[in-house]
Amino acid sequence: MNIAASLADAIGRHDRRALAQAITLVESGLKEHQSQARELLAALPAPAQPALRIGITGPPGAGKSTFIETLGGHLIDRGHSVAVLTVDPSSVVSGGSILGDKTRMPTLSANEKAFVRPSPSSGTEGGVGRFTREAIAVCEAAGFDRVIVETVGVGQSELRAASMTDVFVLLLVPGSGDELQGIKRGVMELADLILVNKADGQLAQTANRTVSEYAAATGFLQARTADWKVPVLAMSALRDIGVVDVLEQMEKFFVHVTKSGLLSSRRESQASEALMQALHEGLLDRFLRNEKNADEVERVRREVAMGRLTPGLAARALIDQFT
């Protein structure tokens, strides 16, 4: 059996080492690995049930990992198995991310019903990698019925995370308005659930005020999901206060989108968008891998920068030249 087939086989038997290896393979930039990854994805066993994919975003330090640790514990208590794909932001600086988030989710990382996978964020926009969608599929095939994607709420990563998850959760901290939290309006519009974390100790009262403010603000927004009023809840991930209520809202959301058919229609449109995005990126990659093309692009880029060419015309000329 070749590597891809034996990995797929082992994943079907819920072999965790195979799962880790498979994710490394799908995330690899090496051409040889990419063709193996394609084979692997095609050979993956169909999941017993589709996983609920939970996207979690929020400003750095808001408590996303702590929340996942607590939420994951409750999910496991209820009979679920939980895979976590996360990017340790410190890895942007250090280049390595193997310990960071695992140490922030010690209980979950040690639980046999959980799988915590920090991914290096190099070469990606603030966290969610190009192949996170594939990594999710591998986790599903390995039998995890809840897959959580943690992303730092800066840059484009939240858009990307929202485009590959079923429920999207925005985690905030008490006190400041969204400008101060560094959260863009657009991100609020992506959220199916807004949580104000750290509602404990001295911050408890401020948290309640923040909840009212955001609840009022969401009233003016177009909700992402039809017939779903975005709940805004205070909680403490650290003290495990209100996390069960959050879990219940999440399950309620899952029932709503399943019954209304929104879940499958959303997944269909997400998949076709992902195809187009992968095509864009893949074609550009291949185009630029050719040295002559890369040089020509660089030359034209300078012309465009100096205002001698408009970007649109320059791109068209480049494409005409090479196709």
User: Using a CB cutoff of 8 Å and minimum separation of 24, what contacts does 272-281 make?
Assistant: 273/163, 274/133, 274/163, 274/164, 278/130, 281/130
Question: x/- contact string, 14-53, with Mg ion (CB under 5 A)?
Answer: ----------------------------------------
- Selected binder of ligand GTP within 102, 104, 133, 160 (CB under 6 A): 104
- Selected binder of ligand GTP within 2, 38, 61, 280 (CB under 6 A): 61
SS (H, E, C) 4-46: HHHHHHHHHCCCHHHHHHHHHHHHCCCHHHHHHHHHHHHHCCC
Tokens representing 132? 């996170």
Could you give the CA distance from residue 69 to residue 63 in angstroms, rounded to a whole number?
10
Q: Please give the residue whose beta carbon sits closest to ligand GTP in the complex.
A: 63
- Selected binder of ligand GTP within 238, 244, 274, 304 (CB under 6 A): 238
Q: How far is CA 192 from CA 81, 100, 253, 310, in A?
A: 22, 28, 8, 40
Could you give the CA distance from residue 318 to residue 52 in angstroms, rounded to a whole number?
43
Question: Does 25 help bind ligand GTP (rule: CB under 6 A)?
Answer: no
- Selected binder of ligand GTP within 64, 113, 133, 160 (CB under 6 A): 64
* Closest separation in Å from C-beta 176 to ligand GTP: 15
Tokens representing 34? 């990419």
Question: Does 57 help bind Mg ion (rule: CB under 5 A)?
Answer: no
Answer with the entry of ligand GTP, Mg ion, none that 129 interacts with (C-beta below 5 to 8 A by kind).
none
Q: Give Cα 10 distance to the centre of its chain.
A: 25
* Closest separation in Å from C-beta 200 to ligand GTP: 5
* Closest separation in Å from C-beta 12 to ligand GTP: 32
For residues 36 and 236, which CB has a smaller minimum distance to ligand GTP in the complex? 236
Answer with the entry of ligand GTP, Mg ion, none that 63 interacts with (C-beta below 5 to 8 A by kind).
ligand GTP
For residues 65 and 119, which CB has a smaller minimum distance to Mg ion in the complex? 65
Strand ordering across the sheet containing 193-196? 114-119, 82-87, 146-152, 52-58, 167-172, 193-196, 232-234
Could you give the CA distance from residue 88 to residue 126 in angstroms, rounded to a whole number?
10
Continuous segment of H or E residues that includes residue 77: helix 64-77
Q: Which of 96, 86, 81 is nearest to 66 (CA)?
A: 86
Answer with the entry of Mg ion, ligand GTP, none that 197 interacts with (C-beta below 5 to 8 A by kind).
ligand GTP
* Closest separation in Å from C-beta 16 to ligand GTP: 23
Question: x/- contact string, 251-290, with Mg ion (CB under 5 A)?
Answer: ----------------------------------------
Chain positions 62 to 81 lying near Mg ion, rule: CB under 5 A, are 64-65
Stretch that binds ligand GTP, among 27-35, 61-69, 157-165, 215-223 (CB under 6 A): 61-69
Answer with the entry of ligand GTP, Mg ion, none that 62 interacts with (C-beta below 5 to 8 A by kind).
ligand GTP
In the beta sheet, which residues pair with residue 172?
196
Could you give the CA distance from residue 130 to residue 140 in angstroms, rounded to a whole number?
18
Per 3-state DSSP, the chain is made up of helix, strand and coil in percentages (nearest 5) of 55, 15, 30
Interface contacts to ligand GTP, rule CB under 6 A: 58, 60-66, 89, 104, 152, 197-198, 200, 236-238
Interface contacts to Mg ion, rule CB under 5 A: 64-65
